[in-house]
Amino acid sequence: AFFLRVSLFRLKDLELAKLGDSDVHVKMLAAPINPADINMIQGTYAILPPLPAVGGNEGVGEVLEVGRRVAALKPGDWVIPASSGLGTWRTQGVFPEEALLKVPSDIPVLCAATLSVNPCTAYRMLTDFQTLAPGDSVIQNAANSGVGQAVIQIAKASGIKTINVVRDRPDLAKLTERLMALGADHVITEEMLRKPEMKDIFKSVPKPRLALNCVGGKSTTEMLRHLQPKGTMVTYGGMAKQPVMVPVSAFIFRDVRLRGFWMTQWRKEHEQDQQSVATMMDALCQLIRKGQLSAPACTEVPLQDYKAALEAAMKPFTSSKQILLL
């Protein structure tokens, strides 16, 4: 059925909208294909654009021209979407100024293109749910995802230990090596979560106060067992398409907290609070400049090969994000 979906896509020449006084003409440079983009196309996401629509919620572009009321941006600046639904899979576009956020142009283009979704999600989840100090630990599943890779690096920069759960796969040793190189403290398979050897990990690392879940189902229940009393599990995705099951004892005797997180909602709630957005963006750009936060493993694809990129993005066990070069 997916191939039918790819055939719903067309590469089309659209006429550029006229530049209004508060508009910005942007030449797009690069835009990733994220799971949420695919969900939107499938009609299973919480926000759906009116059709026909341009795909893509994330990416980076260069400002070519600005309307006469635009004060904060000038030609040559780099911009990323301020919220979802911008439609970034295009070569050029005219957008209202408030739909864009300026980012420094001295960071690598792939870092900028993948900045607004995964690193921001990782940053917020590490910041907003538990007060973590150096030496504390976090456990997460789908640790090889874009968010997972960002969590490992941001945690490492703050002295927080990570226990990273991935699905067993043929190239497990290679994946483990890659995550360790990013700063992971432990990489384990979902099966290992149930094994007595987990005790060995907790000899060197304290039990986690925070668990990050984007899978659901059995692996999530197993991950929850290792949380400290009064620990928090934050769910931000459901790749297994199975519910989160919690043993009653975890609620009663360990008072664990279950929360949800959606970056789009956070942005909506902080529209008037530009300070928290700026603080987060500055922190992430500083980490990028210091070499402590890199773009996820990427495969760069020219826009005309978008069908191949979409198909690759749907494959299981993908450890590389497809990035459309525009």
Any bridge partners for residue 163, and if so which? Answer: 139, 186
Angle separating helix axes 146-157 and 274-289, nearest 10 degrees: 80
Region for residue 136 given its phi and psi (left: phi exceeds 0; alpha: psi -120 to 50; beta: otherwise):
beta
For the record, the structure tokens of 122 come out as 């990782």
Residue 233 to residue 305: CA distance in whole angstroms: 39
* ∠ CA 156-157-163, rounded to 5°: 15
| Integer Rg of the chain from CA | 20
CA atoms within 13 A on the CB side of 266: 18
Any bridge partners for residue 239, and if so which? Answer: none
| Residue pointed to by tokens 């970056």 | 263
| Residue pointed to by tokens 């995964």 | 118
The answer, yes or no, to whether the previous bond of 52 is cis (omega within 30 of 0) is yes
- CB-based contact 175:106 (threshold 8 Å): no
| Residue pointed to by tokens 């009393």 | 229
What b-and-e string marks burial along 206-220, b requiring 16 or more CB atoms within 10 Å of the CB? ebbbbbbbbbbbebb
Q: Which residues contact 104 (CB under 8 A, 6 or more apart)?
A: 78, 285
Q: Which residues contact 172 (CB under 8 A, 6 or more apart)?
A: 166, 189
The full DSSP string for 95-118 is: EEGGGEEEE-TTS-HHHHHTSTTH
> Of residues 45, 123, 236, 306, which has the active-site annotation?
45
Residue type, 107: I
Q: Is 306 a catalytic residue?
A: no
Active site residues: 45
